[in-house]
Copies of this chain bind each other. A is one copy, B any other.
Amino acid sequence: MATAAQPVVLDALFHALADPTRRALVERLTRGPASVSALAQPLAMSLPAVMQHVHVLEASGLVCTEKVGRVRTCRLEPKALRMAEQWITERHTLWERRPDRLGAHRADPSDGRASA
């Protein structure tokens, strides 16, 4: 099956997005870069807990961080977001072009076992 495009990267990307706090952090960073303490402010969460989420986002490539003095600033990496988006969009397109939708040779298009 054609999932050759960086499976490990996609694992990490989708894993990072599977948590509501991490999605909230991504959401905040779409408005521009922010320090970890600014990210933590609206969340009912300790700074170390937020840092853990930031680490997961960083490992996935969705966020990059830079420390200047005592301030760690986080920035969204749109390339990673685009990669996740692309994987889903491509599957959606494949589904829309699927043989049982286009072809008329199958007796029952709701059953796919003939071609499986």
Contact = CB atoms under 8 A, between A and B. Distances in A.
Interface of A: 1-3, 7, 10-15, 17-20, 23-24, 26-35, 38-39, 41-42, 66, 71, 73, 75-76, 78, 81-82, 84-85, 87-89, 91-92, 94-96, 98-101, 109-113, 115-116
Contacts of A101: 32
B76 A85 contact: no
12 contacts: A1-B27, A3-B24, A10-B17, A10-B18, A15-B18, A26-B91, A30-B94, A32-B99, A32-B109, A35-B112, A82-B92, A85-B85
A75 B24 CA distance: 31
Contacts of A28: 1
